[in-house]
Amino acid sequence: MNASATVQNHPHPRLHRQLHHRPAFLHRWSAALLLGCSAAAHAQLVDGGFDTQPLTTMAAVIGGPTFLYGQWGQESSTLSTGVGPNVPASPTRMLSMTIGNSGTATQTAQAIDVSGPSFAGLIASGNAIFSYSALFNADSAGPVGGLSMDFFTGNSFATVIGAPVIANFAVDNIPGNWQVHTISGAIPVGTQSMLAQVYYLNASLAAAGFVQPGFVDSARLTIAAIPEPSTWAMMGLGGLLLGWRHRRQLRQGA
């Protein structure tokens, strides 16, 4: 299809042409916005959907002289292909967590190495932020799940730095209803390893008077740079100008 046919079939042909002939400053603003988005780097959790690898133990991940990177370590958790109406959100499996220890929570964790060139410079600059999310689902009454992120200056638990970012979330008791929960924050300068955890509070899994599991799936970790003030300013100015142009086009088309 040629360009003229594309314009003729566009619901707003004048706006279509204007968008293709916008001023240079809007091209620069668009480029800055895309650059800000592409600056994000993904520290991919290995098997964030719990689909491809077996679980190991929490002790194996954090209890040795060095972290075991790239594998989920569990406490009282198993991999499940589905329990009644609760089915995996990712292709084949989900994490099923239950009470099995004397602590306050049942946890599963993965250690992530961020000491390599993909992240070291960004973290050293003090401009690194993270976002960590996972899906939660339970059919018991009053379950409370959570996410936490710890930071380390080396490759062992003894090198912990700063305070963890941690949050609890109330999970509804609608079977099969996956809810996404997220934590985010700054990554301390000097961080070389991170520990991403999902958990359920033990007491909440027995709130109905009997123990029922809580489920987790599709965990995701993203590391990105804090946008520079000039980028924020350019994005804000560009947004205002686009809004002004849109209102002008609406008035002209009336």
Q: What is the CATH number of the domain that holds 163?
A: 2.60.120.260
| DSSP E strand boundaries for the chain | 56-57, 73-74, 77-80, 94-97, 105-113, 128-138, 144-152, 160-170, 179-186, 193-201, 214-225
Domain assignment present for residue 234? The answer is no
R_g (Cα) of the chain, nearest Å? 23
| CA distance linking residue 54 with residue 47, whole number of Å | 10
Share of the chain above pLDDT 90, in %: 59
Domain assignment present for residue 17? The answer is no
Helices and strands in the chain: count of H runs, count of E runs: 7, 11
DSSP assignment, residue 89? S
Domain assignment present for residue 252? The answer is no
| CA distance linking residue 253 with residue 39, whole number of Å | 38
Q: Average pLDDT of the chain?
A: 80
User: What pLDDT does residue 111 have?
Assistant: 98
State the sign of the Cα–Cα–Cα–Cα dihedral 95, 96, 100, 104.
positive
The answer on pLDDT for 176 being more than 80 is: yes
Domain assignment present for residue 163? The answer is yes
User: What pLDDT does residue 206 have?
Assistant: 85
pLDDT (average), residues 153-172? 96
User: What pLDDT does residue 29 have?
Assistant: 43
DSSP assignment, residue 227? P
Domain assignment present for residue 100? The answer is yes
Domain residue limits at 128 = 56-225
**18, amino acid identity:** Q
Which residue has tokens 């809007």? 26
| CA distance linking residue 83 with residue 229, whole number of Å | 49
Task: pLDDT band for 170, please (50, 70, 90 cuts).
Answer: very high
Nearest to 112 by CA among 235, 221, 251, 190: 221
Contact 133, 169 (CB under 8 A): no
Condensed to tens digits (0 to 9), the pLDDT of residues 29-83 reads 444 444 444 445 554 799 999 999 999 999 999 999 999 999 999 999 999 999 8
Q: Does 8 or 229 have the greater pLDDT score?
A: 229
The answer on pLDDT for 226 being more than 90 is: no
pLDDT (average), residues 108-114? 97
Domain assignment present for residue 32? The answer is no
User: What pLDDT does residue 243 have?
Assistant: 59
**Domains in the chain, number:** 1
Domain assignment present for residue 155? The answer is yes
Domain assignment present for residue 74? The answer is yes
User: What pLDDT does residue 33 have?
Assistant: 42
Condensed to tens digits (0 to 9), the pLDDT of residues 130-148 reads 999 999 998 877 799 999 9
